[in-house]
């Protein structure tokens, strides 16, 4: 069987070997599983390189969108590389920069450290407004409150990180956060008769945490007025249409910078 080495490849694009190996293995498995065809690993790798070389324009068209998408890991890594090149004290010879979004950009938490108490107080405040609250709807109200706060003040209200999940944006570790809210007395969860025990109504608790200021409350009032009367399905559908959701991938964290693109924004003078 003929063997192909990198010196025999006359391609215009340098493709990392680790990518070729991983992609080739996946493609080989696909052809064997779907078509019962088994190809030599060298042939799969070479064919993949040639295809990528011929279609490099297709791939490159995605690059500018990928590297300018607010908050994507790729955009953040690229931004850090630029920062390292601009800073004279940095080692510009480094080929790769390994970063995490937490250490790189506070935009994922709205320029505020996570406060479980503030998030609990927000839950209790919404519940006290007489809104029929279930977990899915509460998730969306918290999302709109934090991003609206960021739009108005440059800071979110809670410091929560939001994640793109099937039912829309959800605060990271939401179950832990609601358990904390119940534990502090900010909210109570009530089982609904004749329904799944997992479906619980969220009611105001006996202890409202005094951690919100007047600006926070004005923002929450605006969100309650504009989103509180929506049904769970309506607010879920609306959140799916937001750029913060459509421009991020499943499981990806959502940058607060998307606040400026919300379909409904308050006047700046409400605070």
Q: What is the pLDDT of residues 9-55, one digit of tens each?
A: 444 556 778 877 888 888 888 777 777 778 888 888 888 888 777 76
- Domain co-membership, 20 together with 141: no
Measure the CA–CA gap between 152 and 218, rounded to whole angstroms.
11
96 and 132 housed in the same domain: no
86 assigned to some structural domain: yes
Do 163 and 233 have their domain in common? yes
Strand-strand pairing, 253-254 and 200-204: unpaired
Task: Express each pLDDT in 122-157 by its tens digit.
Answer: 999 999 999 999 999 999 999 999 999 999 999 999
Whether residues 19 and 99 share a domain: the answer is no
Same domain (yes/no): 219, 238? yes
Q: Find the mean pLDDT for residues 41-70.
A: 72
> Which of residues 70, 104, 138 is at a domain's end?
104
pLDDT digits (tens, 9 = 90+) for 204-214: 999 989 999 99
pTM score:
0.64
More confident residue, 29 or 199: 29
Look at residue 270 and tell me whether its pLDDT is greater than 60: yes
Helix then strand then coil, % of the chain, to nearest 5 = 55, 10, 35
The answer for residues whose C-beta is within 8 angstroms of residue 123's C-beta and 6 or more apart is: 138, 142, 178, 181, 186, 187, 202
Q: Indicate whether 171 and 192 sit together in one domain.
A: yes
Helices (H), 69-156: 73-86, 101-104, 116-128, 135-153
Q: How many domains does the chain have?
A: 3
Q: Has residue 144 been placed in a domain?
A: yes
**Structural domain of residue 66, as residue ranges?**
61-104
Same domain membership, residue 30 and residue 81: no
pLDDT at 259: 97
Comparing C-alpha atoms, which of 133, 157, 178 is closest to residue 222? Answer: 157
């Amino acid at each position: 069987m003929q063997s192909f080495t990198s010196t025999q490849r006359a391609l215009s694009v340098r493709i990392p070997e680790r990518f070729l190996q991983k992609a080739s293995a996946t493609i080989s498995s696909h052809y064997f599983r779907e078509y019962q065809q088994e190809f030599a690993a060298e042939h799969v790798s070479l064919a993949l390189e040639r295809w990528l070389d011929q279609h490099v324009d297709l791939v490159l068209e995605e690059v500018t969108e990928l590297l300018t998408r607010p908050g994507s890991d790729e955009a953040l890594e690229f931004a850090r590389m630029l920062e390292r090149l601009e800073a004279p004290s940095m080692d510009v010879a480094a080929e790769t920069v390994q970063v995490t979004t937490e250490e790189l950009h506070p935009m994922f938490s709205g320029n505020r450290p996570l406060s479980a108490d503030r998030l609990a107080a927000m839950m209790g405040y919404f519940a006290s407004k007489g809104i029929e609250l279930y977990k899915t709807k509460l998730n969306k109200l918290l999302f709109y409150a934090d991003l609206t706060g960021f739009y108005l003040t440059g800071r979110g209200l809670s410091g929560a990180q939001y994640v793109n999940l099937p039912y829309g944006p959800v605060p990271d570790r939401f179950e832990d956060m609601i358990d904390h809210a119940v534990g502090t007395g900010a909210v109570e969860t009530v089982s609904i008769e004749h329904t799944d025990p997992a479906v619980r109504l969220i009611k105001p608790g006996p202890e409202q945490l005094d951690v919100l200021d007047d600006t926070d409350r004005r923002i929450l009032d605006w969100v309650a007025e504009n989103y509180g009367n929506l049904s769970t399905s309506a607010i879920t559908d609306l959140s799916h249409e937001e750029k913060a959701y459509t421009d991020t991938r499943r499981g990806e964290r959502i940058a607060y910078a998307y606040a400026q693109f919300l379909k409904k924004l308050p006047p700046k003078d409400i605070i």
